[in-house]
A and B are shown apart, each in its own frame.
Chain A
Amino acid sequence: MAEEVKEVKPKKRMTATRAAASIGPMVKEFITSTLQARAEGRQKLAYTFIVCHHEEILRAMDVIPIWTENFAGICGAKRDAERFLQRAESLGLSRSLCTYALCGIGFDQWREELGQMPPDAPWGGQARPDFMISSGQIICDPRSKWYQASQQFMPDVPIYNIDLPYPLFQRDQDHRDVWDYYHKYIVKQLRGLVAFLEEQTGKKMDYDRLRELVDLSDRTWNLIDETYKLRRAVPCPMGTGDAMNTMVPINFMMATEKAYDFFVDLKKELEEKIARGEGEVENERYRLMWGGGLPAWYALNDFNYFNSKGASFPVETTYRMVAPLNEMDIPETRDPIEHLAWRWLGYWTFWYDKAKKRPGSEPDVERLINWIEEYKIDGVVMHEAFSCRSWHVGLIWQLHQLAKIYKPIPIYVMGKDGKREKVYRELPSLILESDIIDITSYSEVDTRNKIDAFIETLESIRANRAA
C-alpha cells in the first residue's frame, strides 16, 4: 500500500497584500467547520465542485459544501499529496488521470478503510459527505466520474449529477439563437438539484432566501470585477501569486457575506497601495499575464521568483470565474434559478461577440488580447499541468493563434534594400510544465532555468523595441 512518508514542506510564499495573507487561516477555518459539522450532525454535508453556479442553492438549503478540488489542492500545497496519489494508484487508477481526483479517491478509500481520518491528514482531513453533487461540464470527465469511483468505498452516499452545458463558439452563428434551449435545460437541472436537496435534507427551499443569496453573489461578482480591474495600475499592486489565494472567496465562498466583505477590504487595500504608488514588486520591469493553466500548488514560490526578477503578474485567466454582470447581455428575471442559468450562459459566452469581430480570433484568444492591452502586458506565461485535460487542452493552440493574429511589439529590422524598416512581432511566451499537485512532475532547477531564459528574452525585446 501507500508510503506514508511526508514530503519536505515548501518555503512560505510571500504575499503582496494583507488580504491574500489572510486566506490560509480562512481555508483552514472552513475545513475545520466541515469536520465540526460532521461531528455535530446538524447540517448536511455535500462533496461538490467549483464553478457550477449552485452555491446559492446549497447555502439556501443550509447544506455545507465540501470542495473536494480544494482539499486536493491543500494536500498539494502542503506537499502531502503523494501518499494519497500512491494509494489511488494501488487501487488500479492511472497517474495520468486528474490528480485532484486521484488524491481525493485515495484519501476517501483510506478514511473509509480506517473508519477515521488517515494519520496526520492535512488540516484534520476531509469530512465524510452525506451526499455528492457531481457536474458533467463539457470535457472535464472527472467531474462526473470522480464521485462514482469514491462511491465504491461509500456505497451509502448518494450522488446527484447536474449537467451544465453552454453553446460552443461558432463564428457564423449567434449563440443567442440557441441559448434559450440551453437555458431551459440548465434550469431543469438546477430545479432537479433543489428537489434532490429537499429530499435529502427534509426541508423546503426558501426562495426568498435564495433570491437574497443570488443578489449577494451578483453584487460580489461586480465587486470582484471592479477590484481586479484596479490591477491595471502601474506598478501593479497585486499579482497572480496573490490571486491564487484570493481565488478562495471567488470559488469556495460565493453567496456569503464573508466573501463580499473580503473584496470590500481587498479593494480598499489596492486603492491605498495605488495611491502610494506601491507595486507587487519594488521596481516593476515586466508585466506578465498568467494566460492559462491551473498552478502547481506546491510551487507557488515560483511567483516570488518571477517577482525577484522585476516581473509582476497584473492579470490571470485562471480562477477569474466572474465577469461584470452589467456587460452581460442576459434577460432579466425575478426567478433566482432562472437567473443562475442565465448568469452561467452569460459568463461562458462573454467573449463571443468580441471574438467574432476579429479575424482568426476565438473567445479564449480574444480574452488574452483584450487583457494584454488593458493590463499593458509584456509577455504571457502558461502552465501545462499534465493530469488536467479540461483546463489545459488548447493552451498551446491559443498561444499559436495569438502569435498569428496579434503582433503588438514594434521593432526595426534591416530590409532587403538595406534600409531600416519597422515590423511588428508577437509577445514572447513561456510554457511551464508540471502538474497541479503531483510534485514528481516538477523540477525547480528546470523551471527556474526556463524563467531566467524568459526574463532575458523580455529584456532583449525591451532593448530592441522601436520607439
Chain B
Amino acid sequence: MGYVLGIDIGSAYSKGIALGDQGTVDSSVCPSGGDLKLTAERVKEELSFRNGISAHDIMRTVATGYGARSVIFADEVRSDVACHAKGVSSLLPTVKTVIDVGDLYTKVLRIDRNGGVHNFLLSGKCAGGSGRILQVIARVLRVKVEEIGEMSLKSKKRVDFNTGCAVFSESEAISRISEGVTKEDLLAGLHRALAAQINSLVERIGVEPDVAMVGGGARDLGLVKALEEIRGHAILVPAEPHLTAALGAAIIGREQLKKKIES
C-alpha cells in the first residue's frame, strides 16, 4: 500500500511518523522554529531520505498540531485531539482518559477503544498549566529539559511554589535559588505545582481508567510521578509519548487509504 506520513507541527517541536504496511517505519523530531512550512518539508525529507522513500511511495499525508495548515503537501488536516486519541488507542487500548501535556496547552481527552473522542478540555491560555513552564525553568536552572525529570526525583525537601503563573514561577525560582534551595527541590516543587493544575483540569472533565499521559511533558518522569502522587493511581506512558499525535495522524491516513482502496 506504500507509506503514509503523519506530521504533527507543534508550537515547540515538529514530529513525523512514516507508517508502512507492517507498522511504524521511522520517526523524526525537530524544533518547529519560525518557518513552519520549511519545518514540515524538513520532517518529510528526513523520513524519506533515511528510509529511501520516494515521493511516489507516499500514498497519503495527514497533518496535525498547531501549525498543521503549514503542511501544504498534506492531503488532510486533522485536529491533534483526534490524532492523540487514535495514536493512544493503538498503543494502549485500555486507556479511556488521555492527558496531553504539550508546549502550548494541556489537554484532557475522554476516548474509546477505537480512538473516538467523547469529550475534551483544554487548559486556559496560560503557560503555567502547559509544558512551556518546564522549558522556562530548565533555562533558569541551566539544565537540559530532558534532565529535569530525573533530577526532580532526587529531591529531599520539595519547595512549595506560591504561584501557578509561568512568569511569576520564573521569578520565584530565581529568588529561591538565591536563598540556596537545591535545583532538585525546586524542580520537585515545580512538578507538584504543574501536576496540581493539570489535575484540576482532569477533575473537571472526569476520569475513566486507564489514564495515560502523552505529549512532550510525559517524557518528564518527575511530572508523571507528581501527578500519580496527587491522583493516587498509576498513569500509563507510551514509549515515545511525544509522537502519539503524529502516529495517530498516520493511522487515520492509513485507515482512509484502506477505505479508498476497498471501495
Q: Indicate whether A and B interact.
A: yes
Binary flags per residue of A321-351, CB closer than 8 Å to B gives 1, else 0: 0000000000000000000000000000000
Complex alpha-carbon distance, A441 and B122, angstroms: 16
- Determine if A425 and B121 form an interchain contact, defined as CB atoms under 8 angstroms apart: no
Complex alpha-carbon distance, A445 and B121, angstroms: 17
- Determine if B82 and A453 form an interchain contact, defined as CB atoms under 8 angstroms apart: yes
In the complex, how many angstroms separate the beta carbon of B112 from the nearest chain A beta carbon?
Answer: 6
Chain B contact residues, majority secondary structure: mixed
Does B78 touch A at the CB level, under 8 Å? Answer: yes
- Determine if A453 and B113 form an interchain contact, defined as CB atoms under 8 angstroms apart: no
Does A463 touch B at the CB level, under 8 Å? Answer: yes
In the complex, how many angstroms separate the beta carbon of B22 from the nearest chain A beta carbon?
Answer: 27
- Determine if B122 and A461 form an interchain contact, defined as CB atoms under 8 angstroms apart: no
Residue of A414, A445, A456 near B79 (CB, 8 A) is: A456
> What number of B residues sit within 8 Å (CB to CB) of A?
23
Does B116 touch A at the CB level, under 8 Å? Answer: yes
Residue of B114, B117, B124, B125 near A457 (CB, 8 A) is: B117
Residue of B79, B112, B122, B206 near A452 (CB, 8 A) is: B79
> Contacts A403-B206, A433-B124: A461 and B82 contacting too (C-beta < 8 A)?
no
Does A449 touch B at the CB level, under 8 Å? Answer: yes
Complex alpha-carbon distance, A433 and B122, angstroms: 10
Does B118 touch A at the CB level, under 8 Å? Answer: yes
Q: Which residues of the partner chain B approach A452 to less than 8 Å between Cβ atoms?
A: 77, 79
Residue of A396, A446, A450, A456 near B78 (CB, 8 A) is: A456
Does B56 touch A at the CB level, under 8 Å? Answer: no
Q: List the count of A-B residue pairs having beta carbons below 8 Å apart.
A: 62
> Contacts A453-B80, A456-B81: A411 and B120 contacting too (C-beta < 8 A)?
no
Q: Which residues of the partner chain B approach A396 to less than 8 Å between Cβ atoms?
A: 204
- Determine if B117 and A456 form an interchain contact, defined as CB atoms under 8 angstroms apart: yes
In the complex, how many angstroms separate the beta carbon of B142 from the nearest chain A beta carbon?
Answer: 31
Does A117 touch B at the CB level, under 8 Å? Answer: no
In the complex, how many angstroms separate the beta carbon of A464 from the nearest chain B beta carbon?
Answer: 5
In the complex, how many angstroms separate the beta carbon of A406 from the nearest chain B beta carbon?
Answer: 13
Does A431 touch B at the CB level, under 8 Å? Answer: yes
Does A269 touch B at the CB level, under 8 Å? Answer: no
In the complex, how many angstroms separate the beta carbon of B123 from the nearest chain A beta carbon?
Answer: 10
In the complex, how many angstroms separate the beta carbon of A196 from the nearest chain B beta carbon?
Answer: 43
- Determine if B66 and A426 form an interchain contact, defined as CB atoms under 8 angstroms apart: no
In the complex, how many angstroms separate the beta carbon of A389 from the nearest chain B beta carbon?
Answer: 15
In the complex, how many angstroms separate the beta carbon of A394 from the nearest chain B beta carbon?
Answer: 13
Q: Which residues of the partner chain A approach B113 to less than 8 Å between Cβ atoms?
A: 413-414
Complex alpha-carbon distance, A411 and B96, angstroms: 14
> Contacts A403-B206, A413-B112, A433-B125: A428 and B119 contacting too (C-beta < 8 A)?
yes
Does A429 touch B at the CB level, under 8 Å? Answer: yes
Q: Which residues of the partner chain A approach B204 to less than 8 Å between Cβ atoms?
A: 396, 400
- Determine if B118 and A450 form an interchain contact, defined as CB atoms under 8 angstroms apart: no
Q: Which residues of the partner chain B approach A450 to less than 8 Å between Cβ atoms?
A: 122
In the complex, how many angstroms separate the beta carbon of A365 from the nearest chain B beta carbon?
Answer: 15
Q: Which residues of the partner chain A approach B112 to less than 8 Å between Cβ atoms?
A: 411, 413, 464
Does A170 touch B at the CB level, under 8 Å? Answer: no
Does A173 touch B at the CB level, under 8 Å? Answer: no
Q: Which residue of A lies closest to B96 (CB)?
A: A413
- Determine if A453 and B81 form an interchain contact, defined as CB atoms under 8 angstroms apart: yes
Binary flags per residue of B63-89, CB closer than 8 Å to A gives 1, else 0: 000100000000001111110010000
Q: Which residues of the partner chain A approach B119 to less than 8 Å between Cβ atoms?
A: 403, 425-426, 428-429, 457
Complex alpha-carbon distance, A24 and B78, angstroms: 36
Q: Which residue of A lies closest to B86 (CB)?
A: A460
- Determine if A453 and B118 form an interchain contact, defined as CB atoms under 8 angstroms apart: no
Residue of A400, A431, A441, A460 near B117 (CB, 8 A) is: A460
- Determine if B124 and A464 form an interchain contact, defined as CB atoms under 8 angstroms apart: no
Residue of B77, B78, B121 near A431 (CB, 8 A) is: B121
Complex alpha-carbon distance, A26 and B205, angstroms: 43
In the complex, how many angstroms separate the beta carbon of B102 from the nearest chain A beta carbon?
Answer: 12
- Determine if A449 and B66 form an interchain contact, defined as CB atoms under 8 angstroms apart: yes
Binary flags per residue of A419-449, CB closer than 8 Å to B gives 1, else 0: 0000001101101010000000100011001
Q: Which residues of the partner chain B approach A441 to less than 8 Å between Cβ atoms?
A: 125
- Determine if B81 and A457 form an interchain contact, defined as CB atoms under 8 angstroms apart: yes
Complex alpha-carbon distance, A452 and B78, angstroms: 8
Q: Which residues of the partner chain B approach A426 to less than 8 Å between Cβ atoms?
A: 119
Complex alpha-carbon distance, A400 and B206, angstroms: 9
Binary flags per residue of B197-229, CB closer than 8 Å to A gives 1, else 0: 000000011100000000000000000000000
Q: Which residue of A lies closest to B121 (CB)?
A: A431
> Contacts A428-B119, A431-B121: A460 and B82 contacting too (C-beta < 8 A)?
yes
Binary flags per residue of A386-429, CB closer than 8 Å to B gives 1, else 0: 00000000001000100110000001011000000000011011
**B residues whose Cβ falls under 8 Å from a Cβ of A:** 66, 77-82, 85, 112-114, 116-122, 124-125, 204-206
**A residues whose Cβ falls under 8 Å from a Cβ of B:** 396, 400, 403-404, 411, 413-414, 425-426, 428-429, 431, 433, 441, 445-446, 449-450, 452-454, 456-457, 460-461, 463-464
Q: List 12 A-B contacts (CB under 8 A).
A: A403-B205, A426-B119, A429-B119, A431-B122, A433-B124, A449-B66, A452-B77, A453-B79, A457-B119, A461-B118, A463-B116, A464-B114
Shortest 3 CB-CB distances between A and B: which pairs? A453-B79, A453-B81, A460-B116
Apart from A411-B118, A457-B118, list 15 A-B contacts with CB within 8 A: A403-B119, A403-B206, A411-B112, A414-B113, A433-B125, A441-B125, A453-B80, A456-B78, A456-B82, A456-B117, A457-B82, A460-B85, A460-B117, A461-B117, A464-B116
